[in-house]
Amino acid sequence: MVLAIMQSQPPPVISIANNGGDSYIHHSRLLQFINECKNMSQLKQIHAQTLRTLSTTNNPHAIFLHSRILHFSSLADLDYAFRVFDQIKDPNSFMWNSLIRACARSVERKEQAMVLYYRMLVEGTVLPDKYTFPFVLRACAYLFAFSEGKQAHSHILKLGFGSDVYINNSLIHFYASCGRLDLAQKVFENMCEKTLVSWNAIIDAFVQFGEFETAMKLFNEMQNMFEPDGYTLQSVINACAGLCSLSLGMWAHAYVLRMSDRVVAGDVLVNSSLVEMYCKCGSLEIAQQVFERMPDRDITSWNSMILGFAMHGKAEAALEYFARLVKVETLMPNSITFVGVLSSCNHKGMVNEGRKYFDMMLTEYKITPQLEHYGCLVDLLARAGLIYEALDMVTNMPMKPDVVIWRSILDACSKQHASIELSEEVARQILDSKEAVSSGVYVLMSKVYASASRWNEVGLVRKLMMDKGISKEPGCSLIEVDGITHEFFAGDTSHPRRREIFRVLDVVKERLELMGYSPDHSQATMVDDHCDGKQSSLSLHSERIAIAFGLLSSKPGLPIRIFKNLRVCNDCHNVFKLISTAFKVEIIMRDRARFHHFKDGTCSCMDYW
């Protein structure tokens, strides 16, 4: 009880008399109090004592104390730090850097970091030093301030810091953040000295830009000089996920486990990346094992697992893990958590649950919905046939809907046989937007017209595509066998084993016919014929060729994993269900929207995709 009462008392008033004694001793005592300072209330008392007892004019002790006061306050109360800074007549570089760094680290004040940097240049009493630029470049990277960052780069070279390794690492990060991978690579290649942070920065830059193969090549090169750390392995694992390479991802996982550094092996971010990688590579079971064995989990870990369940159509598991997150772990879900929850409801067609969790996000957790959340709910409503409710939500959104949202409504219009007038209005919204419009919009409209037997309009869509030079995105499917990724396009005859592949396709065709299969041409249109010619034949879709190669090359008993760039069509979806029965094989396919698990004649999506 006494301890509780003592802890509830206000901090003691700091009083240090300076009755003409030794200024050095007085300064030392004040410095000791600053080093032992626990909160801003104590710091303000120390600051007051400093102002009363020490003159700042040509007094190195007072200048040093003000530097420490400014540094402490910049970490605890940035507004107070600015007031301290404005009272200093000639701030030194440490003072400028303390304030610039604090602003660069603050989400709301990054622009002020750049303003302070320009003030530093204009006032001219102190030049920026090598500690100034990493903070300035961090702010520029966050704000995508390319022009300002380029100017800072010029200053770096003029002031002779062009060979500083930490500044160059910051430049790599800045240029990569601004979308200039070429300049980031140029800085890296011109570096006289490269540290493990240098390598991590450039590898991560290539991963962020989807240049996964280059990232892996750089990683292999780096291993000749440095032992990778947790940051390296996180980027490498993300590259494996981007390459859809399960074998490479498992190698990276084994590498983590072999490392003598147990801290890295138990690192939350590394393990979260492993969970995400296994989910994206189609191995949900291993992802779940990694997750459950993690010694520590943060909200990123939970988000990775919930999003993994969502993309595999395991809505019940996603919602179960969400319940564990908030009730057992008592962690606070964030915006990304609800993207996973709403996506899982969307993939399963759970309209009531989607509405419930959207409302929960708003009212219970006070999370402001972003475009992604609205997109999930709009798509859920539209695909469930509630197109006008979806349109009402789009109308009342606080932000402008993007092409993705309008396209999801147009896709629903084509499947739900909505009125031609409504479909045309939605298509007009897409075409009138300033965003890049893919060929998919035209294909969807052609399907709308074809479903209504309005063949003249189908022809007009085809002509419009020709006039604009737009061609249908070609179907492409990837399959990995024995660690090697094979890529197939629709009607592909370029593979070295093409003769064997097409013989397997013939066998597949014969077995399907015996099972009573007949092709479903409902999603084929004149636009498909125009764009793909003979390659539009259903039997030569890229995923069909990939599955034939998988049947030819994969080891018996192992699942065949296929990754396709477009949504799977109705006919191929039916065929894969039949193949899973006829050849007693499990097929895991990821299309543009989600994963499909085909086994024993059924699909995990229950024909809702």
Domain boundaries, the chain: 477-603
CB 203 within 8 A of CB 223: no
CB 319 within 8 A of CB 353: yes
DSSP at 436: -
Q: What are 543's two structure tokens?
A: 């995923």
Name which of 546, 547, 538 is nearest 519 in CA terms.
538
Q: Walk along the chain (609 residues) in steps of 10 and give the mean pLDDT of each run.
A: 30 43 62 70 71 63 73 79 84 90 90 94 90 96 95 96 95 95 96 93 94 95 92 95 94 88 85 97 97 95 98 97 93 96 96 97 96 97 95 94 93 87 91 78 87 87 87 90 93 94 96 91 54 59 96 93 94 96 96 95 93
* pLDDT at position 196: 94
Cβ neighbors of 201 (< 8 A, separation 6 or more) are: 169, 172, 173, 176, 184, 188
Taking residue 392's Cβ as centre, other Cβ atoms within 10 Å add up to 12
CB 121 within 8 A of CB 133: no
* pLDDT at position 19: 44
> Taking the CA atoms of the chain, what radius of gyration do you get in angstroms?
30
Taking residue 48's Cβ as centre, other Cβ atoms within 10 Å add up to 11
* pLDDT at position 69: 77
As a whole number of angstroms, the distance between CA 485 and CA 286 comes to 21
CB 595 within 8 A of CB 287: no
HSE-CB of 67 using CA atoms within 13 angstroms: 15
Name which of 416, 417, 393, 414 is nearest 405 in CA terms.
393
* pLDDT at position 6: 27
As a whole number of angstroms, the distance between CA 577 and CA 591 comes to 15
Cβ neighbors of 244 (< 8 A, separation 6 or more) are: 280, 281, 282, 478, 480, 485, 561, 563, 590
DSSP at 387: H
Name which of 251, 177, 246, 247 is nearest 219 in CA terms.
251
DSSP string, 101-167: HHHHHSSS-HHHHHHHHHHHHHH-SS---TTHHHHHHHHHHHHT-HHHHHHHHHHHHHTT-TT-HHH
* pLDDT at position 258: 87
As a whole number of angstroms, the distance between CA 189 and CA 174 comes to 16
As a whole number of angstroms, the distance between CA 585 and CA 232 comes to 37
As a whole number of angstroms, the distance between CA 208 and CA 211 comes to 8
The bridge status of strand 587-590 relative to strand 560-564 is parallel
* pLDDT at position 61: 62
Residue type, 390: A
As a whole number of angstroms, the distance between CA 574 and CA 518 comes to 10
CA 315 to chain centre: 21
Q: Say whether pTM exceeds 0.75.
A: yes
Residue owning tokens 């600051």: 47
As a whole number of angstroms, the distance between CA 441 and CA 470 comes to 11
CB 504 within 8 A of CB 552: yes
CB 586 within 8 A of CB 559: yes
Residue owning tokens 């606070």: 332
CB 562 within 8 A of CB 522: no
Quote the strand ranges of 354-482, DSSP E.
476-481
* Enclosing H/E stretch for 528: helix 526-532
Cβ neighbors of 609 (< 8 A, separation 6 or more) are: 347, 567, 568, 573, 591, 593, 594, 596
